[in-house]
Amino acid sequence: MSKKWLSLISMVLAIGMVAVLAVGCGGPAKTDSTEIKIGGDFEITGGVANFGKSTVNGIQLAFKEVNAKGGILGKKIVLVLADNKSEPSEAANAITKLITQDKVVTVLGPVASSNVLAASQIAIDNKIPLLTATATASKVTVGDDGKVKDYIFRACFIDPFQGEVMANFAAKSLKVKTAAIYVDNASDYSKGLAQVFEEKFIKNGGQIVAREAFLAKDTDFKSALTKMKASNPDVIFIPAYYQEVGLIVKQARELGMNTPMIGTDGWDSPKVVEIAGAAALNNTFFSNHYSPEDKDPHVTSFVEAYKKEYGQVPDALAALGYDAALMLIDAIKRANSAEPAKIKDALAQTKNLQVSTGILTLDASHNPVKSAVVIELKDGKQTFKEKINP
């Protein structure tokens, strides 16, 4: 073949390649104009997969209900899911995919505070609102510099409140004087709660007699528990998630510790009972976002709708997922637009919105002011003990 032909062929090939590249990367994003796409960055697998599944169920129920009534702005609202495998680094990967590939206009999730913290900077950098239904650590919405994060919102109360609820419960309802704290050092949620609890328990005249730490995924807690036993606390505070909580309670009872144990929303899973066994859990209490036993008509209608859809009683995560979806739907309607910046502005203005767990108004820090409940585990059953208003 002549040189001339060769160079002509290579030129044609080069032009072809440039054209392919241009079509592949450059053109406008294909958006289906009949849909509003919402991202879901959730714990579908991994350590707290039970949390992710419940939250997604709650969201899907709210989306289904609004779509059945004609959708929003004449469009269907759809959830595009990405699994963060219950890990912070994967939560960052998942949100990047949702924003850059799926072109979602808002992200719901993740569940766990550490995962939200890992994902939120990416939402901020891309100017995409992130609304977590469940993450309670205070720094989720307010940075270390004290500034409110413009694009980050939540649908639940925060840990300074939840930690205080349990410190007061220990001091005033259980009437105990000394406490041990067992913290998960891999979790921003756990570390924040341990700090608040300690401060408020001492303020109530109590004393902290032991502090021990573990890391999520640990399975043997006996040496730390043995140390705690030696300091003979009246109560043990364990701000952690169900997998570790189940094992800790089980092993403590095996060591002959009958001490009451108290915790926070991370205890809310039937898995705790599966792992620890019903008997071991007697004399344990935890704070939560709602109780399905609450007779408020908004709670009962949500519980009925959820049972009809999924054949089970919704836990707090399902209720909060439903509430976050209602918040987002309300914001898009008020914004009269599905543009991320407008959704963000409307979310910040959320006021007097009736949701399943109460009436929701966001404060200036993008946090709702909501009540908490204290649950007692009795023979493996969650029983409603107290409701505490902020």
Q: How far apart are CA 21 and CA 27, in angstroms?
A: 10
Supply the DSSP symbol for 240. -
- State which residue, 72 or 131, has the beta carbon closest to ligand PHE: 131
Kindly state the smallest distance separating residue 105's Cβ from ligand PHE, in Å. 24
Binding residues for ligand PHE, per CB under 6 A? 51, 111-113, 134-137, 189, 265-266, 268, 316-317
Q: How far apart are CA 340 and CA 319, in angstroms?
A: 25
Say if residues 353 and 359 touch (Cβ distance below 8 Å): yes
Say if residues 324 and 59 touch (Cβ distance below 8 Å): yes
Say if residues 187 and 112 touch (Cβ distance below 8 Å): yes
Kindly state the smallest distance separating residue 381's Cβ from ligand PHE, in Å. 18
- State which residue, 156 or 228, has the beta carbon closest to ligand PHE: 156
Say if residues 366 and 350 touch (Cβ distance below 8 Å): no
The residue type found at 201 is F
Kindly state the smallest distance separating residue 382's Cβ from ligand PHE, in Å. 12
What number of other Cβ atoms are within 10 A of residue 69's Cβ?
7
- State which residue, 136 or 251, has the beta carbon closest to ligand PHE: 136
Supply the DSSP symbol for 136. -
Q: How far apart are CA 328 and CA 322, in angstroms?
A: 10
Tokens standing for 308?
């009809």
Q: How far apart are CA 176 and CA 314, in angstroms?
A: 32
- State which residue, 49 or 112, has the beta carbon closest to ligand PHE: 112
- State which residue, 115 or 332, has the beta carbon closest to ligand PHE: 115
Kindly state the smallest distance separating residue 50's Cβ from ligand PHE, in Å. 9
Three-state DSSP at 335 gives: helix
- State which residue, 190 or 350, has the beta carbon closest to ligand PHE: 190
- State which residue, 113 or 284, has the beta carbon closest to ligand PHE: 113
Kindly state the smallest distance separating residue 140's Cβ from ligand PHE, in Å. 7
Kindly state the smallest distance separating residue 149's Cβ from ligand PHE, in Å. 15
Kindly state the smallest distance separating residue 119's Cβ from ligand PHE, in Å. 13
Q: How far apart are CA 69 and CA 53, in angstroms?
A: 25
